[in-house]
Structure formats: C-alpha cells, structure tokens
Amino acid sequence: MASDIRVLVFGAHPDDDDLQCGGTAIKLSKAGHTVKFVSCTNGGTGHHAIGGIELVRRRYEEAQRAAEVAGIAEYQVLDIHNGELEPTVVNRKTIIKIIREFRPDLIITHRPYDYHPDHRITSQLVQDASYIMSVPNMLPLTEAITEFPVICYMSDTFRKPIPFSPDIVIGIDDVIDRKMEMIHCHTSQMYEWLPYNRGVLDTVPTDEEERKRWLREHFLDTRDRVTDRYRDRLIELYGEAEGKAIRYAEAFEVCEYGRPLALTRAEIEKVFVL
C-alpha cells in the first residue's frame, strides 16, 4: 500500500460525502492517509424553516464538526446555492483547480444517474474535468496533472438507464460508531430537514442519545443495506467467513474516465483500506 493515499471526495451537498463514504474516509484517515471532502453547493435550500445566510453558515459549521470527528484533512464547501449548480466552464475550472492542487490518487463522486440535479451535475463536472485536468493550457498557472487518479462513483439504488455496479465494497463495522457521530453532526439535515421531507419529523427524539439511536434505525438499520445488496462482492474481497459477518459497508463503482484499476484485493488496497 502507498505510504500516503490522497483521496478527494466530491459531493453535491454538505453531508453527501459523509453518508455515502464517511466510513471509508475514517478508515483511510485512521491508517494515516489524507482525505479531503468537497461540497459543490453550500446547502442553502436544505431546510423547511430557515434559509439564507443562517442556513448556509450552519451547514458549513456542521461540515467542519463532521470533519473533526472523521479526522479528515479538510471539508471545503463551495459557495454555490443548492439547485443552482450548473455544468459551466467556470465551475469545471473550479473543480480542475481543486484536483490539481490536491493531487489525489483517488477521486470519489456521485454517479451521473440520480434524481437530484446537483448530484448529476457534480458527477458531470468531475467527469468533464477528468481529462482536461491534464491539459496545461487549461488553467496554465496551476500545474497540470500528469498521473491520472482512479475515479469511483458512490453507490445508489437507481436502475435506469444503468444500475450501479459494485466493483469495490468496503466493510466499515470497525468505524461505524464514528460514522454515526459524523452524520450526527449534521443536525439541520438528520433531525430537521430530512425527517420533515420524509414526513417523520414528529418521530425525532429530543434527547441526544435517543436521537443517535433513531438516526441509526432510520439511516443504517434498514433491510436494504449495502451489505445485503452486495454480499457476494464482500465475500469475494474478504473471504467467506469475514464477508458473511460484515454488517455495515460502503460500495463504489470504478469510472472508466479515471486511471484503470484491476479489481483484485491487492490492487484495490493501493487506493482503499479494506
């Protein structure tokens, strides 16, 4: 394994990265590797009762607390309003600059097939940057990438036009409590906006510890967990006994626009911690 794996995660909103690959980020950070999260929007519409500068600053602070819990190097939040992210040249240049300055071995982002326009456009921006980040005359004052990173998609359950394919599935039982603490930091989303949006706001407890139990039940302990969907791949990577025993996992699909990655355990461990 490389002495310092550098991992750059692009999510559309503050909390997307935490929910989809927070456990993987914690494992990498614990092993001494460098992880940076980027939210491509500021989260400014993600609430039913507050908005504007109050919400944006609140979500930024939540992201910073989550980064501290996870031990990741940085949680950058771009100042673009939710629902207003566009696949423009200006935004593409922003993504290219972030990639070039961080120089990752691995980039993780959304798939381009998703219900949310911000998720889709975040994915498109990363894909559009995937080759041009190596072109010196694009942003000539920022050194071009000469070694392409591996690019992976976070998992989802959308089936059309192409369903998610689990190339890499990471067991996170050893860090699941820290992932829950990380997600718990996003109070405005986990205990306010998302419960309101799903019609279950009246079920959210007020006690801190009861909230954490509620959060685990609503966001992790469901019948359709990643572990249940991709158990076969877990067994392939971890072996029969360990693969069957894993309760919590995060899954990723390799994007063909990045550096090719052979899907053996040895090759996967060059950019992930299993």
Using CA atoms, how far residue 255 sits from 15, 20, 112, 222, 242, in Å, is 22, 16, 11, 28, 27
- The confidence score (pLDDT) of residue 223 equals 43
Q: Where are the domains of the chain?
A: 6-268
The answer to whether residues 169 and 233 touch, using CB atoms and an 8 Å cutoff, is: yes
Report the predicted TM-score, pTM, of the whole model to 2 decimal places: 0.96
Position 125 confidence tier, pLDDT thresholds 50, 70, 90: very high
User: Angle at Cα 94 formed by Cα 90 and Cα 96, nearest 5°?
Assistant: 115
Residue 115 Ramachandran class (φ > 0 left, ψ -120 to 50 alpha, else beta):
alpha
Mean pLDDT over all residues of the chain?
A: 95
Closest CA to 45 of 14, 70, 21, 75: 14
Position 241 confidence tier, pLDDT thresholds 50, 70, 90: very high
- The confidence score (pLDDT) of residue 224 equals 54
Residue with more model confidence, 127 or 223:
127
Closest CA to 15 of 86, 64, 53: 64
CA atoms of 2 and 124, how far apart (whole Å): 29
- CATH code, residues 6-268: 3.40.50.10320
pLDDT over threshold 60, residue 222: no
Using CA atoms, how far residue 254 sits from 108, 109, 197, 218, 272, in Å, is 9, 10, 32, 28, 12
**Neighbour-count burial of 116, counting CB atoms closer than 10 A to its CB (0-12 exposed, 13-18 middle, 19+ buried):** middle
- The confidence score (pLDDT) of residue 103 equals 98
